[in-house]
Structure 1
Amino acid sequence: MGGSIIENCKVIVGIDVSSKDSTVCVLMDKVRQGKTFKISNDMVGFQQLYKRLRLYSVIPLIVFESTGVYSLSLQAFLEKKHIQYLKLNPLKAKKLMDNNLRHNKTDQVDAYRLALIQFNAPQKLLKPQSRAYHEMQNASRYYEELNKAMVVAKNQLHRNLQTTFPQIENLMCHPTGKIYWSVVALFPHAQAVLDSNKEHILGELETISGLSQKKAEYLTQRLISLARLTCAYDNKDSIVIRAIQRNIACLFSLDQEKKEALAYLYKLASKNQADTRILTIYQSIPGIAKTTALRLLAELGDLRRFDSPNQIDAFIGIDPGIYQSGELDSHLSITKHGNSIARKIMYLSIGQMESVKTTQPCHITDYYDRKKSSQSRGFKKIAIASVHKLIRTMYALVTKNQLYDYNVATRNQRL
């Protein structure tokens, strides 16, 4: 299932994809074949491209950049016709084209340079994954969008409360979650507390699901104390109150939608026994819970399609860049060429692993703590180095179909 380089493919087609149309350049043994031409990004244009490709004895290799949603239609057509393609990350493509001393920036030049890449610096081709992984990634990306929307709604709620009841954010240790939002919805303004008596406030709080009698009594006292400390700028009839109510309704809706997105993602993963096993393997690693495991599966796909952990490093963009000039050969910071969401999840996983290390030891957190105590490198560099170890661990466990074992891992530090 690993990648392979099409060394005997002498015809390469570079396609510069734009929003509505694409520019196509055909090279044979580095020589341009005819004029560069344009096709529309629809079935008419793709059929026109396919007709040109069939003029050659061997179907050429297609090279194009991953331009977000715009390149997906082309990719779908190529997969339907069983045409091999190389889809490059835009940053990596730019670097490869710049190495070839690209000076002009036009669609025609980019299409030519994209085709030239596979002659000058052949890239490995990964076997396309099943559409099931694509749909899982869709669910993961939707979940990410919901997370971002929740951050926006929380920030808006924070700003709005500053003019009506800023002290309410000290009501609980963490001013977030359903109980906190429910309390704020009941009392969005300090005056609403001051205008009520203790019995009325307690009665309102007792309507909140999941709130015990003892906790309701405690929060009642806290609300009264905090309301007395508040000097509100806007009055209780201000339209800001409507904005606060809208923020809270949005947060409840987004929270429910996140749960449904995760349930859908789990349903997709459960259809395949191999994916279910991978989830179990991921969750055996200390600090990786169900949500993280699901999103790692969705973003990384089946790790067995990679030849080595280094390919996974490159896939998520944590492989180190290299600078060469004369006799100077030095490593730069990570390339950030790959899957940024997968990179983010892996990075956050290290923090999750650190949070449970006292009860769930892991050789990766042991490494992280040793490096951190030595203070030889910055926090981010240590975290990225830990991500490298996590990737090697995940790859070894999945390819060997084994669950994580701390004793085994400490004996085999190559993990």
Structure 2
Amino acid sequence: MIYYVGIDISKYKHDFCIISNAGELIVENFSFQNNKIGFQSLLEQLKPYNKSDIRIAFEATGHYSLNLELFLVNNGFSFIKVNPLIIHQFLKTRSLRRTKTDKADSITIAKYLMSVPYKPNSDLLYTFFTLKSLCRARESLIKERSKFAVLLTNELDKSFPEMKPFFNNKISETLLYILEKYTSTKHISAMKDYESIRKLSHGKFTYARFAQLKELAKNSVGFHNENTDLLISTYVSIYNDFNNKIDPIEKQISTIINVLNPRMLTIPGIGEISAATILSEYGDIKNFSNPNKMLAFAGLDPSINQSGTLESNGKMVKHGSGHLRYAIMNSALSILRFSPEFYDYYLKKRSEGKCHRVALSHVCKKLIRVIYSLEKNNIDFNPSLLK
């Protein structure tokens, strides 16, 4: 006999039930705390049954379920995580009434588990979770750093408006080094440590550019005072602090992704960070039975409106992880620069009258189908096989 265990996850406690494959509600209204004692009480409830006969499911609720997941894995149990939206839709198909309690939700989860194939968690569960945490932390820090990049740019627009265009409107390591040592145009025009700047730029910042920057500073139309100097110094310091926090995170991401070595890294234009973000959000891609489910997971599938003889495709549903959609869209933009096959596909969609973003969304869908094929079959990217 098979036993289906539905667990409703919350921050401080979890509720669960057990239903047999005959439909008998064996355990109902059992709650346990989100701590060691609570987890041990769950084990006591599961002891009478063979582990191979137990199916466990709970909703994907961020990090609240992580400790329970690791506890179950360490004790020889498997489980699946379900999108809460799917559970909500499943409940609507079974009843017009909505009884929203933790105990009722655990029963709904168990009944849903009975209706679908059981594809348990990956052995790389903790690795994927760690990678996701690192990628999301990096993304958050970069967004915060961008705010100070804007503030720094605003001050430079007032005090030395010619400087950032001179550096191709990028906040480079060389620009930060100069501003860290010389906050005013007066000091920049009198710079003498060319050799230090040359070494920092690995020889890319030539003496000719050094002399040009000094001349720009000497004839700048910018205005500055002590307050401007203070703000520039502050923003440069904060920006460098963010860099010092982001760099070790990126190195750790690189270490993990190189161990996992996903086949999507063989696609021209997909780097380690993009691959890590996509893989960490999806988890084990082998758990997806087809690429359409990967599209749905990312919220890139179109909504469909159908009534009688009328049918139309709407906008992307945008359910699922926004981090995943962002990574896929950015990867698609990068791939267009490096892959003739993907770029030709993009041009084909544009020739059909589709605007840039719609054409790009088609590239994203094609990219997901390619990633699915590469990871499922463990093969490298081969442009000649693209259709």
Look up the match of 1:53: 46
Identity %: 24
Q: CA deviation at 1:87?
A: 0.8
Look up the match of 1:69: 63
Q: CA deviation at 1:351?
A: 0.8
Of 220, 224, 237, which residue of structure 1 is paired with 2:218? 224
Task: Establish whether residue 91 from structure 1 lines up as the match of residue 73 from structure 2.
Answer: no
Structure 2 runs not aligned, ≥5 long: none
Give the partner amino acid of 2:130: E
Work out whether residues 183 and 205 of structure 1, in 8 Å CA contact, stay in contact via their aligned partners in 2.
Answer: no
Q: State the alpha-carbon separation in 2 of the partners of residues 33 and 323 from structure 1.
A: 41
Q: CA deviation at 1:352?
A: 0.7
Q: CA deviation at 1:74?
A: 1.5
Q: CA deviation at 1:86?
A: 2.2
Return the TM-score normalized by structure 1: 0.77
Q: CA deviation at 1:348?
A: 0.7
Q: State the alpha-carbon separation in 2 of the partners of residues 259 and 364 from structure 1.
A: 31
Q: CA deviation at 1:402?
A: 4.1
Look up the match of 2:373: 396
Task: Establish whether residue 316 from structure 1 lines up as the match of residue 298 from structure 2.
Answer: yes
Task: Establish whether residue 381 from structure 1 lines up as the match of residue 362 from structure 2.
Answer: no
Q: State the alpha-carbon separation in 1 of the partners of residues 287 and 18 from structure 2.
A: 29
Distance change >3 Å, CA 403–CA 57, structure 1 → 2: closer
Task: Establish whether residue 372 from structure 1 lines up as the match of residue 350 from structure 2.
Answer: yes
Give the partner amino acid of 1:341: H
Look up the match of 2:29: 36
Structure 1 runs not aligned, ≥5 long: 1-7
- Greater relative CO, 1 or 2 (CA 8 Å, sep 6+): 1
Work out whether residues 65 and 88 of structure 1, in 8 Å CA contact, stay in contact via their aligned partners in 2.
Answer: yes
CA offsets per residue over residues 260-307 of structure 1, 9 Å max, x none? 323223323444xxx33x3xx434423223443444444445544543
Q: CA deviation at 1:159?
A: 4.7
Q: State the alpha-carbon separation in 2 of the partners of residues 267 and 184 from structure 1.
A: 33
Of 179, 187, 210, which residue of structure 2 is paired with 1:184? 179
CA offsets per residue over residues 338-385 of structure 1, 9 Å max, x none? 4432332111111112234xxx42x2221111112322x443332222
Task: Establish whether residue 267 from structure 1 lines up as the match of residue 245 from structure 2.
Answer: no
Distance change >3 Å, CA 402–CA 81, structure 1 → 2: closer
SS in 2 for 1:36: strand
Report matched runs for 1:129-278 at 5 Å: 129-130=123-124, 131-161=126-156, 165=160, 168-188=163-183, 192-194=184-186, 196=187, 198=189, 200-201=190-191, 203=192, 207-208=196-197, 209-210=200-201, 211-226=205-220, 229-232=221-224, 235-236=225-226, 238=227, 241-271=229-259, 275-276=260-261, 278=262
Task: Establish whether residue 352 from structure 1 lines up as the match of residue 345 from structure 2.
Answer: no
Distance change >3 Å, CA 197–CA 64, structure 1 → 2: closer
Q: State the alpha-carbon separation in 2 of the partners of residues 293 and 372 from structure 1.
A: 27
Look up the match of 1:3: none
Distance change >3 Å, CA 285–CA 327, structure 1 → 2: same
Q: CA deviation at 1:72?
A: 0.7
Give the partner amino acid of 1:17: I
Distance change >3 Å, CA 385–CA 256, structure 1 → 2: same
SS in 1 for 2:219: helix
Q: CA deviation at 1:40?
A: 0.9
Q: CA deviation at 1:148?
A: 2.3
Q: State the alpha-carbon separation in 2 of the partners of residues 60 and 94 from structure 1.
A: 23
Task: Establish whether residue 108 from structure 1 lines up as the match of residue 103 from structure 2.
Answer: yes
Q: State the alpha-carbon separation in 1 of the partners of residues 308 and 107 from structure 2.
A: 29
Q: State the alpha-carbon separation in 2 of the partners of residues 34 and 27 from structure 1.
A: 7
Report how many residues are paired: 378
CA offsets per residue over residues 76-113 of structure 1, 9 Å max, x none? 12212222322122333333334444524333333333
Q: State the alpha-carbon separation in 1 of the partners of residues 196 and 177 from structure 2.
A: 9
Q: State the alpha-carbon separation in 2 of the partners of residues 290 and 77 from structure 1.
A: 30
Work out whether residues 97 and 114 of structure 1, in 8 Å CA contact, stay in contact via their aligned partners in 2.
Answer: no
Of 11, 20, 31, which residue of structure 2 is paired with 1:19? 11
